[in-house]
């Protein structure tokens, strides 16, 4: 008899351990680590996950007291190392064990079960699972067969199949009632029906840059990076290599070669890319090197597509998995290498439980699996830079390799900062004089330009010129955004809308209330006017707008980029989503319309994020033969986050920023956890937050600091009051268990929710 340790999926904090069950002989072949099973628990049948197996019953428990597993619901989704990573996540991020296991499960798998008439239980899956297509084809020797005279349908079926096999579903759609004829014909051996597994989610693109050819020679920086990665992989103990390479320095090329070396040793590789830059272009470059050995996982795929791509990895048919954050948990056998591109991106932090950071989980996973971790960025996070400076973190070596140059003759673009406070105030134009001139130059030379409109932060809200009042949503304390086309004020926290434009200030009554900040539509309109002023040359320019509205449709993102790629002379106008990863060699101008809206956000990372965004978008210019120019319009031209971009001097920016962080005791010099409390009853929320803060203050040791409680910046969302407490703890401390215990001791009442966010990225 074997025994299984099972984590039951009942998310209660008090229940946080695995329970032991016996494996009945009948199920022995199917109960593996990572399997989803049905077990008896407190007199009910509940779903659980097998995290380990043993030959002996657990010590101190008589074997006959141990209940048997009832049924296996799904085959293995993770191995023993994966289970250990999940147990670590549960502790590190203060979440229930079952929650930490969820990211490992097959796409679409739910935790609910239903019972059939026969008494068997099945998991409720979200339209996933494999799809099998039935194909019909003519058998050899079918030509010898002649249908009876009145068997018209059979004759039609045979005619349809003459050109080759047809999917049963299509045949049925073409010739209603074909199924009966196919059955009759199959009985006589005239046609054959075969089941073919269909793999969903393989995309293709016409983008020229997606087929990037292998370069003739690597740069010195690329060779150094590859050598460091090979060494880390050979060491097989979770060592980390930070590839700190300027935009266009050939980081992707390094990943491709490092994966090739990994494959040559018979190992697999996992590549994480921010969702937003997981475009057809990126995927295309991996496919063009590794072909069908690539599985792709991201949220724009349907559940079925994700399942099939995930299963390709599990069955060992694809050895290179490219995907967004959650692809980290894909069941890749024999992992040799994990790559995280744009490692500084905030999107690597998940904002629902388990609130993990992919970089941290990957570092832990690399140690568990004995593989190498590669972090790549043109703007590495201050956390990673600090660990490389130390040379080690969490028992692994951290090495930084710099790639300061672009290959060949391509050079970093020249950057010019335009101080908007010194521009003529008269017409309140979107485009400054230098940016207007530069756009005209691009049109004259028939080149391409990218214009970034920084939309995060306080863009296109209304502001009173007399008292500075900004109208807010009465339910969410969020600045309302004005939408010009629909003439509505919209709250982006709760989605409420108010028709019309305010004609006077709600606070002081002044009539000088107007739109501050600009929307993409307004920029598009002004750009149209600018181009019209250029006569026939301006008419031939393709303007492509890329924002949340124009990319809502599936594949819209890719289609817009393909249009930009194919155009002769074009301007791509967009929000943050155009800043990353695009590689169009014909782009010679990048314009940033409003650099500093994100600088005003109340978050200690605001400056770092603004610098990253500007440096990244600047890197879209001059990637080809022709040199590039960047023009940044700013109201805070002297701020280091803006000024350092002009010299591409990340070190200067990091030095000024690290000094400020050290002074205030912020990461990377501490760990910062955010305990968020929310609910409709303000008094209950306040009381609960106070209890948590008091408990924390009593529990923490030296070097720890408890900040708050305070209202969140978004003090109300959807009529819920939001308060929070911040916990700063030393680097290397383990705040999760302590905070979890304090939250539990504070016993949040019904109607009050609490979330614990360790290493929080979002403090709003």
Residue 82, binding choice from Zn ion, ligand ADP, none, Cβ under 5 to 8 Å by partner class: none
Q: Which stretch binds ligand ADP (CB under 6 A): 64-72, 247-255, 264-272, 683-691?
A: 247-255
CB of 277 to ligand ADP, least distance (A): 10
Angle value at C-alpha 377, between 638 and 266, nearest 5 degrees: 180
508 interface partner picked from Zn ion, ligand ADP, none, CB below 5 to 8 A per type: Zn ion
219 touching ligand ADP, by CB under 6 A: yes
Backbone angles phi, psi at 731, to 5 degrees: -60, 135
Residue 225 or 672 having the CB closest to ligand ADP = 225
Least distance in Å: CB of 657 to ligand ADP?
23
Minimum separation from the CB atom of position 174 to Zn ion (A): 51
Q: Does 586 bind ligand ADP (CB under 6 A)?
A: no
Give one DSSP letter per residue of 372-395, joined into a string. EEEEEESS--HHHHHHHHHTEETT
Q: Using the rule CB under 6 A, is 408 a contact of ligand ADP?
A: yes
Question: Which of these, 150, 149, 160, lies nearest to 182 by C-alpha position?
Answer: 160
Q: Which stretch binds ligand ADP (CB under 6 A): 152-160, 210-218, 411-419, 430-438?
A: 210-218
* 591 exposure class (CB count in 10 Å sphere: 0-12, 13-18, 19+): buried
Choose among ligand ADP, Zn ion, none what residue 84 binds, the Cβ cut-off being 5 to 8 Å by kind: none
Contact between 222 and ligand ADP by CB under 6 A: the answer reads: yes
Q: Helices 735-745 and 682-699 meet at what angle, rounded to 10?
A: 130
Least separation in angstroms between CB 637 and Zn ion: 28
Q: Would you count residue 82 as binding ligand ADP (CB under 6 A)?
A: no
Per CB under 6 A, does 245 bind ligand ADP?
A: yes
HEC string for 166-225: EEHHHHHHHCCCHHHHHHHHHHCCCEEEEEEEECCCCCCCCCHHHHCCCCCCCCHHHHHH
Q: How far apart are CA 578 and CA 453, in angstroms?
A: 10
Among the residue ranges 45-53, 212-220, 423-431, 478-486, the one whose residues contact ligand ADP (CB under 6 A): 212-220
3-state secondary structure of 470: coil
CA distance 246 to 225: 13
Query: By CB under 6 A, what part of segment 599-628 binds ligand ADP?
Result: 623
| Largest CA-CA distance found in the chain, in angstroms, rounded | 94
CB of 636 to Zn ion, least distance (A): 24
Compare residues 152 and 465 and give the one whose CB is closer to Zn ion: 465
- Closest distance to ligand ADP from the beta carbon of 407 (Å): 4
CA angle at 151 for the pair 146 and 152, rounded to the nearest 5°? 105
Burial class (CB in 10 A: 0-12, 13-18, 19+), 24: middle
Contacts of 750 (CB under 8 A, 6+ apart): none
Quick check: 248 binds ligand ADP (CB under 6 A)?
yes
Positive or negative, the CA dihedral 677, 679, 681, 684 is: negative
- Position 491 contacts Zn ion (CB under 5 A): yes
Binding residue for ligand ADP, selected from 583, 596, 612, 757, defined by CB under 6 A: 583
Per-residue binder mask for ligand ADP (CB under 6 A), 20-39, x = binder: --------------------
Residues that contact Zn ion, how many (by CB under 5 A): 15
Binding ligand ADP (rule: CB under 6 A), the pick from 215, 495, 703, 737 is 215
Which of Zn ion, ligand ADP, none lies near 249, with the C-beta cut-off 5 to 8 A by kind?
Answer: ligand ADP
Q: 57 touches which of ligand ADP, Zn ion, none (CB within 5 to 8 A by kind)?
A: none
Give the shortest CB-431-to-Zn ion separation in angstroms: 29
Verify binding: residue 251, ligand ADP, rule CB under 6 A. yes
Task: Specify whether the CB–CB gap between 118 and 152 falls below 8 A.
Answer: no
Q: How far is the CB of 682 from Zn ion (least distance, A)?
A: 16
- Which residues in 414-564 belong to E strands, given as ranges? 414-419, 448-452, 461-464, 481-483, 488-490, 497-499, 513-516, 542-546
> Which residue, 563, 570, 567, is CA-closest to 531?
570
Residue 212 binding result from ligand ADP, Zn ion, none, given CB thresholds of 5 to 8 Å by partner type? ligand ADP
Tell me whether residue 462 or residue 582 sits nearer to Zn ion (CB atom): 462
Given the complex with ligand ADP, which of 407 and 665 has the nearer CB atom? 407
Closest CA relative to residue 332, chosen from 266, 273, 253: 266
Instruction: Please choose, from the candidates 427, 398, 201, 182, the residue with its C-alpha nearest in 3D space to the C-alpha of residue 303.
Output: 201
Neighbours of 638 (CB within 10 A): 9
Work out what residue 408 binds among ligand ADP, Zn ion, none; the CB cut-off runs from 5 to 8 Å by kind.
ligand ADP
| Cβ neighbours for 326, distance < 8 A, ≥ 6 positions apart | 103, 297, 350
* Complex with ligand ADP: residue 323 or 736, whichever CB lies closer: 323
Q: Mask 455-474, x = binds Zn ion (CB under 5 A)?
A: ---------x-xx-x---x-
**Is residue 284 involved in binding ligand ADP (CB under 6 A)?**
no
- Output the smallest distance, CB 715 to Zn ion, in A: 11
Query: Smallest distance, Å, CB 455 to Zn ion?
Result: 18
Which residues have C-beta within 8 Å of that of residue 29, sequence separation ≥ 6? none
* Residue 70: contacted member of ligand ADP, Zn ion, none (CB under 5 to 8 Å, by partner type): none
3-state secondary structure of 3: strand
253 lines the binding site for ligand ADP (CB under 6 A):
yes
Name the minimum Å distance from CB 645 to ligand ADP.
16
The yes or no reply on residue 534 touching ligand ADP (CB under 6 A) is: no
Helix (H, G, I), strand (E, B) or coil at 455: coil
Site string for Zn ion, 501-520 (x = CB under 5 A): ----x-xx-x----------
Whether 88 contacts 46, CB under 8 Å: no
Residue 578, Cβ density class (10 Å: 0-12 exposed, 13-18 middle, ≥19 buried): buried
Residue 249: CB minimum distance to ligand ADP, A: 4
Q: How far is the CB of 602 from Zn ion (least distance, A)?
A: 18
Residues 6+ apart with CB under 8 A from 59: none
Return residues touching Zn ion (CB under 5 A): 464, 466-467, 469, 473, 475-476, 491, 493-494, 496, 505, 507-508, 510
Return residues touching ligand ADP (CB under 6 A): 212, 215, 217-219, 222, 245, 247-253, 407-408, 583, 623
């Amino acid at each position: 008899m074997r025994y299984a340790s099972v984590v039951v999926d009942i998310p209660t904090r008090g229940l946080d351990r695995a329970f032991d069950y016996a494996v009945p002989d009948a199920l022995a072949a199917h109960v593996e680590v990572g399997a989803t099973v049905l077990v008896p628990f407190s007199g009910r049948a509940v779903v659980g996950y097998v995290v380990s197996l043993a030959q002996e019953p657990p010590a101190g428990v008589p074997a006959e007291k141990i209940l048997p597993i009832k049924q296996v619901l799904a085959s293995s989704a993770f191995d023993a190392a994966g289970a250990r990573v999940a147990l670590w996540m549960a502790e590190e991020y203060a979440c229930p064990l079952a929650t930490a296991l969820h990211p490992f499960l097959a796409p679409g798998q739910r935790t609910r079960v239903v019972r059939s008439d026969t008494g068997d239980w099945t998991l409720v899956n979200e339209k996933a699972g494999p799809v099998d297509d039935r194909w019909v084809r003519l058998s050899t020797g079918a030509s010898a067969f002649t249908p009876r005279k009145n068997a018209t349908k059979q004759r039609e079926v045979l005619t349809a199949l003459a050109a080759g096999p047809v999917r049963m579903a299509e045949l049925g759609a073409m010739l209603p009632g074909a199924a009966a004829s196919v059955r009759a014909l199959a009985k006589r051996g005239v046609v054959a029906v075969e089941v073919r597994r269909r793999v969903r989610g393989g995309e293709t693109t016409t983008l020229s840059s997606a087929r990037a050819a292998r370069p003739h020679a690597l740069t010195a920086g690329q060779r150094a990076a590859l050598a460091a990665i090979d060494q880390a992989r050979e060491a097989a103990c979770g060592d980390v290599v930070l590839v700190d390479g300027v935009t266009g320095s050939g980081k992707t090329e390094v990943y491709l070669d490092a994966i090739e070396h990994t494959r040559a040793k018979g190992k697999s590789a996992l590549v994480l890319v921010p969702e937003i830059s997981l475009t057809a272009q990126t995927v295309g470059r991996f496919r063009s090197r590794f072909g069908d050995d690539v599985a792709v996982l991201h949220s724009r795929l349907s559940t079925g597509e994700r399942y099939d791509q995930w299963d390709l990895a599990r069955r060992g048919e694809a050895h290179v998995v490219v995907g967004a954050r959650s692809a980290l948990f894909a069941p890749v056998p024999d992992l040799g290498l994990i790559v995280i591109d744009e490692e500084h991106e905030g999107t690597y932090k998940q904002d629902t439980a388990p609130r993990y950071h992919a970089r941290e989980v990957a570092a832990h996973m690399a140690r568990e699996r004995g593989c190498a971790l590669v972090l790549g960025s043109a703007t590495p996070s201050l956390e990673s830079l600090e660990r490389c400076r130390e040379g080690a973190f969490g028992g692994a070596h951290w090495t930084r390799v710099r790639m300061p140059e672009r290959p060949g003759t391509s050079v970093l673009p020249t950057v010019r900062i335009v101080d908007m406070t010194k521009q003529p105030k008269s017409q309140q134009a979107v485009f400054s004089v230098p940016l207007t001139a530069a756009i005209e130059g691009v049109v004259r030379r028939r080149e391409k330009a990218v214009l970034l409109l920084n939309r995060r932060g306080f863009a296109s809200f209304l502001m009173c010129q007399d008292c500075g009042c900004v109208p807010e949503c009465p339910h969410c304390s969020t600045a309302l955004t004005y939408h010009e086309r629909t003439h509505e004020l919209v709250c982006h926290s709760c989605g409420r809308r108010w028709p019309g434009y305010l004609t006077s200030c709600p606070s002081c009554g002044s009539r000088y209330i107007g739109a501050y900040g600009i929307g993409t539509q307004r920029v598009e309109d002004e750009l149209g006017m600018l181009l019209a002023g250029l006569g026939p040359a301006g008419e031939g320019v393709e303007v492509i707008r890329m924002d949340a509205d124009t990319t809502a449709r599936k594949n819209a993102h890719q289609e817009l980029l393909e249009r930009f790629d194919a155009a002769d002379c074009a301007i791509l106008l967009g929000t943050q989503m155009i800043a990353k990863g695009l590689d169009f060699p014909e782009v010679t101008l990048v314009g940033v319309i409003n650099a500093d809206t994100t600088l005003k956000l109340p978050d200690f990372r605001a400056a770092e994020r603004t610098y990253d965004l500007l440096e990244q978008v600047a890197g879209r210019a001059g990637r080809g033969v022709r040199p590039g120019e960047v023009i940044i319009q700013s109201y805070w031209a002297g701020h280091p986050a803006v000024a350092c971009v002009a010299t591409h001097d990340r070190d200067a920016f990091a030095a000024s920023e690290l000094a400020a962080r050290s002074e205030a005791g912020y990461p990377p010099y501490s760990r910062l956890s955010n305990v968020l409390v929310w609910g409709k009853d303000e008094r209950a929320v306040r009381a609960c937050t106070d209890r948590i803060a008091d408990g924390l203050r009593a529990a923490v040791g030296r070097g720890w600091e408890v900040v708050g409680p305070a209202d969140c910046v978004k003090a109300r969302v959807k009529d819920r009051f939001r308060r929070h407490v911040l916990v700063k703890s030393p680097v290397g401390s383990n705040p999760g268990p302590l905070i979890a215990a304090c939250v539990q001791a504070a016993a949040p009442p019904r109607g009050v929710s609490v979330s614990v966010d360790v290493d929080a990225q979002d403090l709003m």
